[in-house]
Structures are given as structure tokens and as C-alpha cells.
Amino acid sequence: MKVLAFGLGALGTVFAVSLKNAGYETYAFIKENHLSQLKQPLRITGLFGEKQAVIDGYFTQPNDLKSLDLDLIILTVKAFDTEKALLQIKEFIKPNTLLLIAQNGYGNYEKATQLIPKNQIILSRIIFGAKLISPGVAKVTVFGDDVVIGQPENTIPKETLENLAKVFTQAGIPTRVSEEVYSILWEKIIYNSALNPLGALLERTYGELAENYETRFLMDKVIEEIFEVLKAYNIKIRWDNPEDYKKHFYQKLIPPTAAHYPSMYYDLKNRKKTEIDALNGAIVNLAEQKGLKTPVNKFITLMVKQIETNF
């Protein structure tokens, strides 16, 4: 199997090192100015163990990939770079190549389906956390659950998905297949929207946010507003109402990740653009299309975007 990690941030590095270590031909597509900064060999540390790998090649131009017959492209760029990345991928993707959307937030799959055939697109929910120590070196800091993969519209055979899940699992990234992947991704969007921006703005861990009355109140409002949006779009998740979800959120989801800072915290700290538009910002936009108001999500979005104006 020939694999391309499109983007070598923390997540892309974890996939590239793990798959190369498992014996797969592995390449990476990165920005040209990042190539000289990469530490060789690529390395991961943390919860998935200590691994390193010399991958099979790096690419910085889409044209150079046209001669490579890839089986899988793993898209790991930040959500604000998705459209540009998809236009580049469209230049070299073959009809037999699968594209895995391995990103946070709402809108990545929707953008992909406008440019790439649905029978080539796999959606995923990734709930392990990794941070980039330096270019080419990533640390897996938290593991919430298996990676979940699937095709929301059932355009890819289940056997193909099961085989890919097996490849990832054997490479050290626990993965399972679900027909409910779109709903499961939405559950993560709720989780991230409640925690990430507040953790970033206030420089607090997930556990600290849950312990504090004021931040807990704000997270409750974020969740309640998102449930109104889900209802308006008839999107079903495992919980029918925000109260049941909040019990699960505080009792089951936060405790294993209580010491974790969100990736958005590191983005703001390092003066980098965040994925707020794919989280709370997306909630605001979806709500407005249905005539709904989401004041807390809007306030949080504006706060993050105001900080970004200084970068």
C-alpha cells in the first residue's frame, strides 16, 4: 500500500511514522518552506510508544505526484487550509485512490464532496491528541477512543473500510468502522466547541474548565445552542437532548482528558490561526441559515477571531 500524508503537523507525523514502521510505502506532502526544518528521521513519542521512521519521500508540488499511484491520501491540514489542499489533491488523485478526511470540525467532508467523488472519500473521527514538539517530532498526549472511519453515504464497500481499519490498528493507531461516522464526528464537534476555545482563551485545562462554575455555565450554553442547531438540521446523535449529553460530557469524556490543553491553546500561544471557523464559527453560520441565534457560540468565536487579528 502506498500512502501519502498530506500535511506533516502533529497528526500527519503520527500517521506517517506509524504506517512506515508497519511496512507501508509512505510519503508526505508539505509546504516547501517547511522541508528544511524537518528533523530526520521523523519521530513520535507518548501514548503510542517511541517510534521513528525514514519515509519514502517528500513532495511540495502537486505535479510531482501525478506519476505516483497512491492507494491512500490522509488529509491532516488545518480546516482553514482544506479547500486549498483539496484543489491540490484534485490535480493528482487517481480514480482508485482513497482520501481520508482526518481533521477537526464541520465542513471538511462537505468541501471534499464538491471536488472529489464520494466513493473515494472516507470520513473519520479522531479523538487522540498529539502536539508537534518540533517539525518532524510529535507527541501523542491523550487518547480518548479509537479512530472511527466510515463513508456517510455508504459509497465505499464495508470490506474496504474494515481492511483500512485493520491496517491502522496493526500500525498502532486503534481504529474501527462505523456507519454512524457522521453522527460520531458531530459528537466530537460538540466536545471540541465546548472545550477548545474556552481552554485557549482562558489558558485552562479541560479539567479546570469543568471545575469552575463560570466556565461550566458557558460550556453548558455552547452545548445547548448546538443541540438547537442539530434539531434544526435533523442531525441525530446518541443523545436526544443536551441534559443527557452534558452528563456524559462531564462524567465520562472530561475525566480521562482532564489535564489536557486544547490544540487551540497552543495555536494562540504560538500566534497561529485557529480552527474556530470549523467549530463554534460553523455553528453560528449553520444557525443563521435557519434563523436561529447562538449568542454564546458567537461571542466565543468573535473573541478568538479578535485575538487572531494581532497575528
pLDDT digits 0-9 by tens, 218-273: 999 999 999 999 999 999 999 999 999 999 999 999 998 899 899 899 999 999 99
pLDDT for 36: 83
pLDDT for 159: 98
Domains 2-178 and 183-308 share a fold: no
Q: Is the pLDDT of residue 137 over 90?
A: yes
The full set of domain ranges for the chain reads 2-178, 183-308
Q: Is the pLDDT of residue 84 over 90?
A: yes
Q: Which of 78, 188, 246, 298 is catalytic?
A: 188
pLDDT for 37: 86
pLDDT over 70 for what percent of the chain? 100
Dihedral angle over CA of 277, 62, 124, 56, nearest 10: -130
Task: Work out the pLDDT band at 38, boundaries 50, 70, 90.
Answer: confident
pLDDT for 49: 96
Q: pTM for the whole thing?
A: 0.94
- HEC profile for the chain? CEEEEECCCHHHHHHHHHHHHCCCEEEEECCHHHHCCCCCCEEEEECCCCEEECCCEEECCHHHHCCCCCCEEEECCCHHHHHHHHHHHHHHCCCCCEEEECCCCCCHHHHHHHHCCHHHEEEEECCEEEEEEECCEEEEEEECCCEEEECCCCCCCHHHHHHHHHHHHHCCCCEEECCCHHHHHHHHHHHHHHHHHHHHHHCCCHHHHHHCHHHHHHHHHHHHHHHHHHHHCCCCCCCCCHHHHHHHHHHHHCHHHCCCCCHHHHHHHCCCCCCHHHCHHHHHHHHHHCCCCCHHHHHHHHHHHHHHCCC
- State the CATH class of domain 183-308: mainly alpha
Is 188 catalytic? The answer is yes
Q: Is the pLDDT of residue 294 over 90?
A: yes
- CATH fold label, 2-178: Rossmann fold (3.40.50)
Task: Work out the pLDDT band at 29, boundaries 50, 70, 90.
Answer: very high
Task: Work out the pLDDT band at 34, boundaries 50, 70, 90.
Answer: confident
pLDDT for 153: 96
pLDDT digits 0-9 by tens, 172-192: 999 999 999 999 999 999 999
Q: Is the pLDDT of residue 144 over 90?
A: no
